[in-house]
Structure 1
């Protein structure tokens, strides 16, 4: 109860609580009745095992008075909100007109969803407060101030709740934009990249790995929201996430002075956002969303007067340019939940080997929790991750092909660089995701889902050219990892 009151105070919601507002000598029944009947906007009926265990309590008296008030209100009025502090059942309570307490949606202020549920409660109450309504972004900040809630779960739950409600679309856009601005502020921070990074070689590697992990922690809430949008949204509502991805990729392309390793890590938010959107959309077979989020967005390049597709502007290797040891320390430390220094020492002292595809291994591990609700099975997630990885690679190859055709004299547009974990798995007998995609295309032809959603310009021949070109390099890399 104290935690709930802290949330209400952080959200600037005035509340009445008997422990706080009853003074010595007060006639408590009269005071409670006055509080309930003096224009209260909502009554939070809170339950826990402690309250259920009591045969008699003042709370029952309070709830009885609240029910009497509620019965006089117009049908459909939101006023009593059941609030649970644990997983126990709500008690049966007759509200009149055939209604009971357990007929109403309740708020769960416990467990993993505690903070997200608190944010929903805050926005609901502020909705009842009319012109004083708090935006979801402000609600998120208020709940975060008052709880130890996970921002990832908060943003993911708010996106789920608001994406399907057209009336909340503007507020959701503001929420996503706020998150993007948080990330951009760090990417654009000159002090962050000033360098030089001190220490010997291994100490610098550990510092780069730590900086990469901090960058991922920063962008993780946006990716959690993006996963929901790519899975459940439609292209016409994806603008804030499209703008966010484009902004993150563009920010990493700016010419700046500073430590090269830290500058390269500025590409991590855009890269992992593209992987998140691709994995969510491809695994849900929402190719229309993949097109909007991944294939269509363009950015400006300092080396080219024409806009550059985001899949060409950034790839899994961009944040770790010539930093294979950093990628390995990051991957092994994260996967084994060990300090990066210890993980690195095990590899440099040959106690364990390096990963053959460290960035892909890290991406697979980092994104796994965000997709746990979509793919709870480990093997299914691994297969979908492979498929998404190669699908982005094929789309990247298509973008390269299109640029080469438009400017045949230019060099350096030979192949996509979206390779990773799936190459190693193909070389070790875990299936070949490229061949699976090619088989789908050959079997379904013009009816293939990506073509029907106008990827590859809706042309089967263009898709085949991209897939064949990507496969050539994919098989070469997989062959290096073969048993």
Structure 2
């Protein structure tokens, strides 16, 4: 398969991975993880491979996979930096944050008592022990069923306790996961560089562009489902990996370091989810009625990544709800932009999650404040950090610069989705703001209706919320929520969202939700203005 081909590869290649060249599979795996199209450029930083000489053939294969994916590889310390101290270079790279250390093990290394690899590992362990836990850059890799050495990393950790990647058979199926881990690590200071780099793949369209093209071609139904399933599977693989997204970290004990760590975690969530967001935004906009079940399943699978009960720190557990919010909002703005009300229904109420309270509609779990509910200042930090990255500033933020925003959670989602939306649909910021605000009003109305249904059954369920529209059109005599409700009043049973089955297709339910929602928004405006 030509990696530069714009055609989507045969889905069966993933099932026959042992027959396909590893580098082609890896490039494709990266693509569905969100590093797509113009983003698929050489990541900043380096990967150092530590190994014993007896494994040189395996390491040659691994290095080729990484290099074909655009990742710089350091190996063979005698030749890395002529005239320089390799220990100092590795320490410097670790300090800059754009560095990953692959410690490769096999029975060959297990059977050798004295190796240069031990010296390399001792340096890595030294650097881990003097730095606060939280940012993972050391990845054990096994080439066979050997035992990982029990190096003491401090804080109750050992090398064997780190999340490892096993490349145990000829197919190396998990090499895609390894690439995903490395890309996440190298994005610690800058997700991908667009300066002075040459794209690895220049002619591959983005996942969203592929999705739009396939949705408009009735003969591509199987390809649509394959691409969606591959994308969400890759995202879930990373979202549920504690090595990428830990549920506890001693770094949070230091306010300054903890703020930097949280900001990076928020950014990493958006990076891992970027391809899924593209697919949902385009899919909800251009998909047909028979695709609605597919969008609902994607949302449900994302919801399970945050629902699994885990022990840990509240702030990190809460952040696990961020991907669902991003996904629901992305699908909603796409659906509202193209008036695809069936898709909006699919991702908000058709999609449900079984919890200890019973089956809950996703709209009850996608409240934008849930990821930040115990630490509202983090929503402000997320916005300020995203703006810092956009300006190209390298110094990370330890705390929010602006803590005076009225709707920071909504503002964060607005800013995160804006570049993709304006590019995908070729619209300006004014049109995007109108669509985003309308989408947020629809989400609020749907949440209000579902909350009323739960209350009638004696259950509590989160209701509506006010978004950034509450301040964006504060000087308007006809705010966005009133315009939407007026459209309902004028159309009655012919209101398109009702015709598509939203609000259960019941005019009374829509009117009841609208009345309560308008009252709530009026009260909110009076409180803040």
Measured against the shorter chain, the TM-score band is 0.5 to 0.7
Cα pair distance change 1:476/1:176, threshold 3 Å = same
1:299 lines up with 2:353 in the alignment: yes
The structure with more radius of gyration = 1
Task: Name stretches of at least 5 consecutive residues in structure 2 with no aligned partner.
Answer: 14-18, 32-39, 41-68, 71-198
* 1:190-209 matched pairs, under 5 angstroms: 190-191=242-243, 192-198=245-251, 199-209=253-263
> In the alignment, which of 356, 361, 365 is matched to residue 411 of structure 2?
361
Q: What SS does the aligned partner of 1:120 have?
A: coil
C-alpha change, 1:142 and 1:296, in structure 2 (3 Å) is closer
> How far apart, CA to CA, are the structure 2 residues paired with 1:203 and 1:341?
12
1:189 maps to 241
Match of residue 101 from structure 1:
none
d(CA) in 2 for partners of 1:137 and 1:366? 29
- Tell whether 2:453 aligns with 1:453: no
User: What displacement does 1:133 show?
Assistant: 10
Q: Indicate the SS of the match to 2:321.
A: helix
After alignment, is 139-148 or 320-329 more displaced?
139-148
Distance 1:319 1:266 in 2: 7
Query: Tell me, what secondary structure is at the counterpart of 2:334?
Result: helix
CA displacement at 1:183 relative to structure 2: 1.9
Match of 2:420 in 1: 370
CA gap 1:460/1:204 in 2 versus in 1, 3 angstroms: same
1:317-340, Cα deviation, whole Å (9 max, x unpaired): 111122222110111221353569
Give the drift of 1:456: 1.1
| TM-aligned CA deviation for residue 149 of structure 1 | 4.8
| 2:472 matches 1:425 | yes
Q: Report if aligned partners of 1:296, 1:309 keep a CA contact under 8 Å in 2.
A: yes
Per the alignment, in what secondary structure is the counterpart of residue 299 of structure 1?
strand
- Corresponding residue for residue 388 of structure 1: 439
Separation in structure 2 between the aligned mates of residue 369 and residue 335 of structure 1, nearest angstrom = 13
1:477 CA displacement? 2.3
TM-score by length of structure 2 reads 0.61
1:261-280 matches, cutoff 5 A? 261-280=315-334
Aligned to 2:486: 439
Gaps of 5+ in 1: 1-6, 12-114, 127-131
Distance in 1 between residues matched to 2:428 and 2:437, nearest whole Å: 14
- Residue number among 14, 17, 28 corresponding to 1:140 in the alignment: 28
Q: Deviation digits for residues 311-361 of structure 1, max 9, x if unmatched? A: 0123101111222221101112213535697655573xxxx5532211111
Instruction: Give the root-mean-square deviation of aligned CA atoms.
Output: 3.1
**Do 1:137 and 1:174's aligned partners in 2 also have CA atoms closer than 8 Å?**
no
- Alpha-carbon distance in 2 for matches of 1:274, 1:262: 20
Q: CA deviation at 1:440?
A: 0.4
3-state SS of paired residue (2:405): coil
In structure 2, the partner of 1:288 is: 342
TM-aligned CA distance change 1:151 to 1:340, over 3 Å: farther
- Counterpart of 2:344 in 1: which secondary structure? helix
- Distance in structure 1 (CA, Å) of the matches to 2:202 and 2:366: 29
Alpha-carbon distance, 1:220 to partner? 1.2
State the secondary structure of the residue aligned to 1:274: helix
The Cα of 1:292 is off from its aligned counterpart by 1.9
- Once the two structures are superposed, the pairs formed by residues 199-348 of structure 1 within 5 Å of their partners are 199-302=253-356, 304=357, 306-336=358-388, 337=390, 347=401
Structure possessing the higher relative contact order (Cα contacts under 8 Å, 6 or more residues apart): 2
Instruction: From the two aligned structures, give the one with the greater helix fraction.
Output: 1
Q: Alpha-carbon deviations, 1:70-94, whole Å to 9, x = none?
A: xxxxxxxxxxxxxxxxxxxxxxxxx
The answer to whether the Cα contact below 8 Å between 1:159 and 1:225 also exists between their aligned partners in 2 is: yes
CA distance in structure 1 between the aligned counterparts of 2:472 and 2:405, rounded to whole angstroms: 12
1:464 Cα deviation after fit: 1.1
- The one-character-per-residue Cα deviations of 1:77-120 (angstroms, maximum 9, x if unpaired) are xxxxxxxxxxxxxxxxxxxxxxxxxxxxxxxxxxxxxx7xx332
Quickly say closer, same or farther: Cα 1:344–1:133, change in 2 above 3 A: closer
- Paired with 1:142 and 1:472, the residues of 2 have a C-alpha distance of 47
Paired residues in the alignment total 352
